[in-house]
């Protein structure tokens, strides 16, 4: 008479009816392999079990990589959609002042940033009423300000992403104490004109960091600077 416990008839019938369910259940298969190893004793090495464990580890790593790739692709698609929506919004205004006011409202909301400020260099020192009306969206600075601002921490390049300990009050105004990361997009406004810079600020210190890609922001900057050339001409 065998000393091994017998399966209940109902359980045995269920396994025989759906054997694939047993093979597809990872936890159940691991339990069966472990039981088989215990039955063989300590002096026998089951190479199949070792190979199976290694394959499972590789499969788990592959699943993690797959999830990471899918997540990155989704984020990239979402970012592309945001940039496209922002660009379409830029094309709607028929006057310059509403065009700039979009930056602090609809465009900032679409791009999910807290502040967007356009910085323009100018050699004129007399206050311009139009600039006064656009405070909070437009900042006028002396020639050389943009190059100096960007060289504080990083070499000048088309798009600079960085985290901040203390934001510049001339750019962010009253919200400067809360801004912890920024994207600086340099603008070429055409021959004979001083450069410009579009600055996006976020209260989240992880929103902009040097490790992030800049392709989409570069594209947005290219469209925006061409729109600016059109308005300034």
Token readout for 3 is 């000393």
Average pLDDT over residues 115-136: 78
Higher pLDDT, 86 or 6: 86
Reference 25, options 46, 33, 36, 61; nearest CA is 33
**Confidence band (pLDDT; 50, 70, 90) for 48?**
low
Most confident of 5-9, 40-44, 71-75, 142-146: 142-146
Examine the pLDDT at 122 and tell me if it is beyond 70.
yes
Q: How confident is the model at residue 134 (pLDDT cuts 50, 70, 90)?
A: confident
Rg (alpha carbons) of the chain, rounded to whole number: 30
174-232 confidence digits (pLDDT tens): 899 999 999 999 999 988 889 999 999 999 999 998 888 888 999 999 999 999 998 88
For 54-104, write each residue's pLDDT tens digit. Answer: 777 777 777 777 776 776 666 666 778 888 999 999 888 888 888 888 898
Between residues 29 and 196, the one the model is more confident about: 196
In whole angstroms, what is the distance from residue 36 CA to residue 39 CA? 5
Q: Which residues share a beta bridge with 140? A: 120
The structure's pTM equals 0.66
Q: Which two tokens stand for residue 85?
A: 């929506």
pLDDT of residue 136: 77
- Residue range 155-181, pLDDT digits in tens: 557 899 999 988 989 899 889 999 999
In this prediction, residue 115 carries a pLDDT of 92
């Amino acid at each position: 008479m065998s000393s091994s416990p017998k399966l209940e008839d109902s359980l045995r019938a269920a396994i025989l009816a759906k054997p694939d369910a047993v093979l597809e259940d990872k936890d159940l298969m691991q339990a069966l392999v472990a039981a088989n190893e215990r039955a063989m004793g300590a002096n026998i090495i089951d190479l199949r079990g070792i190979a199976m464990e290694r394959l499972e580890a590789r499969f788990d790593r592959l699943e993690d990589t797959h999830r990471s790739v899918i997540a990155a692709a989704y984020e990239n698609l979402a970012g592309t959609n945001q940039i496209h929506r922002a660009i379409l919004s830029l094309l709607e205004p028929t006057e310059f002042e509403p065009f700039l006011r979009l930056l602090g409202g609809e465009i900032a909301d679409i791009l999910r940033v807290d502040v967007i400020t356009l910085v323009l260099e100018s050699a004129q020192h007399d206050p311009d009423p139009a600039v006064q009306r656009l405070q909070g969206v437009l900042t006028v600075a002396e020639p050389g300000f943009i190059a100096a601002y960007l060289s504080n921490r990083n070499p000048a390049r088309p798009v600079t992403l960085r985290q901040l300990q203390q934001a510049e009050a001339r750019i962010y105004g009253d919200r400067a104490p809360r801004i912890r990361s920024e994207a600086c997009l340099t603008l070429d406004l055409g021959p004979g004109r001083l450069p410009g810079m579009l600055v996006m600020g976020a209260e989240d210190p992880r929103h902009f960091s040097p490790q992030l890609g800049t392709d989409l922001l570069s594209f947005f900057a290219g469209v925006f600077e061409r729109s600016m050339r059109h308005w300034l001409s």
